Amino acid sequence: MLGVTYAILFYIATLILVFGVAAKIRTYIRVPAPLKIPTTPAPKTRTGVFWRMFREVVFFESLYKSNKWIWLFGWTFHMSMWLVLMRHLRYFSQPVWGWVEVVQPYGTYAAFGMVVGLGGLWARRFFVERIRYISTPSDHLILALLVGIVLSGAMMRFVVHTDIVAVKVYMLGLMRLQIGFLPSEPVLLAHLFLVAMLMIVFPFSKLLHAPGLFFSPSRNQIDNSREKRHLAPWAAELER
Amino acid sequence: MTAPDNDVPQLSHPLEIPKLKCGAMADSSPYVASPEHQKSVKYPGELLPDWKERALAKMKELAEKNRAFQVYLDACVKCGACTDKCHYFIGTGDPKNMPVARQDLLRSVYRRYFTLAGKYFPKLVGARDLTEEVLDEWYSYYHQCSQCRRCSVFCPFGIDTAEISMAAREIMNVVGKGQKYCNEIIGKVHKVGNNLGLQEKALRATLEDLEEDIEEDTGVSVRIPVDEKGADILLVTPSADFFAEPHIEGLIGYAKVFHEAGVNWTISSYASEAANFGLFIGSYENMREVSLRIRKAAKDLGVKRIIFGECGHAWRVAYSFLNTLAGPWDFLDQNYPIPQHICEFTWDEMQKGTLKLDKTRNDHIRLTFHDSCNVARGSGMGDDEGGQFEIPRNILKAVCNHFYDMPRDTIMESTLCCGGGGGLLTDDLMDLRTKGASPRMTALKQVTEENGVTHMAAMCAICKTQFAKVMPKFGYEMDSVLSVHQLVSNAIVLAGQGDDEEDAHKVAIDAA
């Protein structure tokens, strides 16, 4: 019964995540940027833009320039999250890929990085006047959701071990559309439920910053407006 | 030096973060455009009865036509990186002048009507209904943004509040609530060809007077041609260059450079304006219409090149948008950048050695340079990234012995706006302009104290006018702001002028 409930939950969450984000990305691709608006100085070649985006995505370059504390907490959280996510691939693959094995020990302790990062970001929402002013309930809620996921996950790894083999069998089954047995351990169930919630809110929340970053014209445009004419389809209509 | 006013913010350093003063600037609001001004830019004369529906329809349209608007409304995570970056926030302490809060004035409405979360859980995500109060708030705070893009430099996603503020102004215009200052000016450009509404006859007379002045001062006849068919270069410069100080000294500088370079050039009376306030109101159509005047002038006069004078937002429109709005420029000489900035031209001539310069004529000046926001963050110069910082500095260092930069976090891509850009250079916003200028003025004071800086050069008509007006409030003379080409003009030794060294020196001092 539990296995079925969670199976439905995860199938729905996955569909919402995939189609929701895909729809958003489709919109971002479809909507043209009518003018060249890179924040200059900007690269004058495609390769240059690639590296600018690379530095933004991997090092959070602009955020570093802006505020060292937000950068420290934000970057720590995100990088730790990637390690943790990579580590989690072991529950969805059989045999486990070699590089996932390599990541395993780092991914385990990265949970603490996530806690520190999230904690710092959340504390700023209470203690820094300016950030308190701009925070809405949803900003706190997303942090709560993430903290809940990390704490429940870390608890299973470091405090109350769950029957992880059974969980993996269940997950591999779901991937083949076979619903198996899911251990009824409260921490595990909480962890999985919160993850499903995160997947569901993703396309409707500020988590869209992830795909959004790649479509930000001020960052991804090449500074070559004098050399190459840039014209949006709707603007071309004006010239008829 | 006059004593600073009491209401002028006293900052201990240029980027001092203020305590929040909620509602401090809630009453700041520029004059609303009259029906006549509205119609001159093809917008409804007054607030329409169905304004709300139209505003939402326009918002939807913009989200479908402008990727930046769509992405920026979605992507903000409220991280707070931008919160202390706006000069109006630093100067006023009003939290709605924090870039993210300014965006949220519109984002909250977008969320309410166009997102699932905002439709069903408005309180949770800070979404709100569009009401007349909200519209008034938009009108107030979207006219407290100079669209300088400083926040976009520091945003991890490059979210540019200028884009949101332009969209908001476009929405307000569409429902009949435009701003008088911008719309009146754009109307004049459509009708007459420049922001001032200066007719051809008056323009010719002004420039003839100027030619006489130059000849009187230097003993050399330097021409400022108007509508000369067959000239090689069309100069498009802000109309403030024709009458305002220190702008006019810059125009004299361009004329001297062209004279020494031996090129044929002309001003057009039809397109006698570089400024394009269509940018400020976020109107592609108005911006395009103004730009097309330049295309027509270039064709009619048969020029081979187009050069822009010193103007910040005009250079952004020219450098980044002109090819889009009024191109392709296949009828011009492709061996030169299209369009070219006067600083690019002057620097080229300096490198070629065609200009004879006497730096000592600027020895009474200890100089710093204000990077204009639209040049710094919305355009480029030369072939290299960051040329917009290097080229003007190269020029200034070539004509002035004493040059000192202001603190690094207040110049170049981090430059602080003058406080009067983005369509705010109007007397009804004087309080805002003064407060917005305080970070820049504080940075200037630092180099005055450390290096004895006496003057600040700028290459934007708006910056120059704004500084001439606000500098006295911060203890500087109004003529402490100079045009970049004014310093060039001081230092240039015109061919045939060399024997008269003493007179020339006197001119330099007068001009300063």
Q: How confident is the model at residue B1 (pLDDT cuts 50, 70, 90)?
A: very low
pLDDT at B497: 81
* Burial state string for B336-371 with b = 16 or more CB within 10 A and e = fewer than 16: bbbbbbbbbbbbebbeeeebebbeebbeebbbbbbb
DSSP string computed for B62-78: HHHH-HHHHHHHHH---
How is residue A95 written in tokens?
């045999």
Q: Do A133 and B321 touch (CB under 8 A)?
A: no
How is residue B483 written in tokens?
């045009």
Compute the average pLDDT of residues B206-218: 96
Give the distance from residue A5's alpha carbon to the nearest chain B alpha carbon, in angstroms.
Answer: 25
Closest to A227 in 3D by CA, of B348, B68, B339: B339
Residue in this structure with the two tokens 């969209």, named with its chain if needed: B167
pLDDT at B498: 60
Q: Does the CB of B323 have a partner CB in chain A at under 8 Å?
A: yes
Find how far residue A60's CA is from the centre of its chain: 14
Q: How far apart are CA B103 and CA B171, in angstroms?
A: 14
Q: How confident is the model at residue B2 (pLDDT cuts 50, 70, 90)?
A: very low
DSSP string computed for A56-115: IIII-HHHHHH-HHHHHHHHHHHHHHHHHHHHHGGGS-SSPPHHHHHHHHHHHHHHHHHH
Taking contacts as CB-CB distances below 8 angstroms, the residues of chain B near A208 are 74-75
Q: Which residue of B has its CA nearest to A57?
A: B156
CB B417 within 8 A of CB B146: yes
Give the distance from residue A24's alpha carbon to the nearest chain B alpha carbon, in angstroms.
Answer: 9
pLDDT (tens digit per residue) in B386-395: 999 999 999 9
What are the strands, taking DSSP E only, across B374-465?
455-458
Q: Does the CB of B19 have a partner CB in chain A at under 8 Å?
A: yes
- Mean confidence (pLDDT) of chain B: 95
pLDDT at A130 > cutoff 50: yes
Q: Which residue of B has its CA nearest to A202?
A: B117
CATH code, B149: 1.10.1060
pLDDT (tens digit per residue) in A5-38: 999 999 999 999 999 999 999 999 999 999 999 9
pLDDT at A238 > cutoff 50: yes
Domain boundary among B139, B169, B185: B185
pLDDT at B9: 87
My answer on whether B222 and B163 are in the same domain is: no
Calculate ∠ Cα B508-B509-B512, nearest 5°: 85
My answer on whether B223 and B158 are in the same domain is: no
How is residue A162 written in tokens?
């769950």
Closest to B153 in 3D by CA, of B403, B389, B427, B377: B377
Give the distance from residue B20's alpha carbon to the nearest chain A alpha carbon, in angstroms.
Answer: 7
pLDDT at B496 > cutoff 90: no
How is residue B152 written in tokens?
């976009």
Q: Rg of the Cα trace of chain A? A: 21
C-alpha distances out from residue B300 to B207, B294, B365, Å:
21, 10, 42
Q: Does the CB of B75 have a partner CB in chain A at under 8 Å?
A: yes
My answer on whether B180 and B211 are in the same domain is: no
Q: Do B149 and A39 touch (CB under 8 A)?
A: yes
pLDDT at B5 > cutoff 90: no
C-alpha distances out from residue B512 to A116, B78, B345, B362, B494, Å:
57, 47, 23, 8, 18
Q: How far apart are CA B288 and CA A237, in angstroms?
A: 13
How many other CB atoms sit within 10 Å of the CB of residue A172? Answer: 15
Q: Does the CB of A34 have a partner CB in chain B at under 8 Å?
A: yes
My answer on whether B126 and B198 are in the same domain is: no
Compute the average pLDDT of residues B349-374: 97
My answer on whether B192 and B97 are in the same domain is: no
Q: Does the CB of B18 have a partner CB in chain A at under 8 Å?
A: no
My answer on whether B356 and B470 are in the same domain is: yes
How is residue A12 written in tokens?
């729905």
Residue B334, in any domain of the structure: yes
* Burial state string for A7-19 with b = 16 or more CB within 10 A and e = fewer than 16: bebbeebeebbee
pLDDT at B6: 53
Compute the average pLDDT of residues B333-348: 98
Domain boundary among B185, B213, B233: B185
pLDDT at A240: 84
Q: Do A138 and B124 touch (CB under 8 A)?
A: yes
DSSP string computed for A125-185: HHH-HHHHHH--HHHHHHHHHHHHHHHHHHHHHHTS---HHHHHHHHHHHHTT--------
pLDDT at B512: 46
Residue B384, in any domain of the structure: yes
Taking contacts as CB-CB distances below 8 angstroms, the residues of chain A near B339 are 226
User: How many domains, chain B?
Assistant: 2
Closest to A39 in 3D by CA, of A237, A221, A211, A207: A221
Residue B386, in any domain of the structure: yes
Q: Does the CB of A62 have a partner CB in chain B at under 8 Å?
A: yes
Q: Does the CB of B413 have a partner CB in chain A at under 8 Å?
A: yes
Closest to B439 in 3D by CA, of B20, B150, B156: B150
Domain boundary among B137, B168, B185: B185
Calculate ∠ Cα B363-B368-B370, nearest 5°: 145
Range(s) of the domain holding residue B191? 187-404+453-511
- In a mutagenesis test of the B interface, which of A226, A227, A229, A231 is the best target, namely the one with the most B β-carbons within 10 Å? A226
My answer on whether B166 and B264 are in the same domain is: no
For residue B321, the 8-state DSSP code is: I
pLDDT (tens digit per residue) in B413-449: 999 999 999 999 999 999 999 999 999 999 999 999 9
pLDDT at B499 > cutoff 80: no
pLDDT (tens digit per residue) in B464-487: 999 999 999 999 999 999 999 999
My answer on whether B220 and B362 are in the same domain is: yes
Give the distance from residue B363's alpha carbon to the nearest chain A alpha carbon, in angstroms.
Answer: 32
Q: How confident is the model at residue B7 (pLDDT cuts 50, 70, 90)?
A: confident
Q: How far apart are CA B196 and CA A134, in angstroms?
A: 41
Q: Does the CB of B65 have a partner CB in chain A at under 8 Å?
A: yes
Q: Does the CB of A94 have a partner CB in chain B at under 8 Å?
A: no
My answer on whether B110 and B181 are in the same domain is: yes
My answer on whether B172 and B218 are in the same domain is: no
Compute the average pLDDT of residues B285-305: 98
Provide the whole-model pTM. Answer: 0.94
Residue B361, in any domain of the structure: yes
User: What are the residues whose beta carbons fall under 8 Å from the beta carbon of A176, sequence distance 6 or more?
Assistant: none
Q: Do B413 and A42 touch (CB under 8 A)?
A: no
My answer on whether B88 and B75 are in the same domain is: yes
Compute the average pLDDT of residues A165-190: 96
pLDDT at B506 > cutoff 50: no
Q: If 0-12 CB within 10 Å is exposed, 13-18 middle and 19+ buried, where does residue B223 land?
A: middle
One-letter amino acid at B453 equals V
Residue B17, in any domain of the structure: no
pLDDT at B500: 52
Residue B467, in any domain of the structure: yes
pLDDT at B4: 46
**What element of type H or E holds A233?**
helix A233-238
Option in A63, A135, A229 nearest B156 (CB): A63
My answer on whether B248 and B139 are in the same domain is: no
Calculate ∠ Cα A206-A208-A212, nearest 5°: 125
N residues, chain B = 512
pLDDT at B234: 98
Residue B3, in any domain of the structure: no
pLDDT at B88 > cutoff 80: yes
Q: Do B324 and A129 touch (CB under 8 A)?
A: no
Residue B15, in any domain of the structure: no
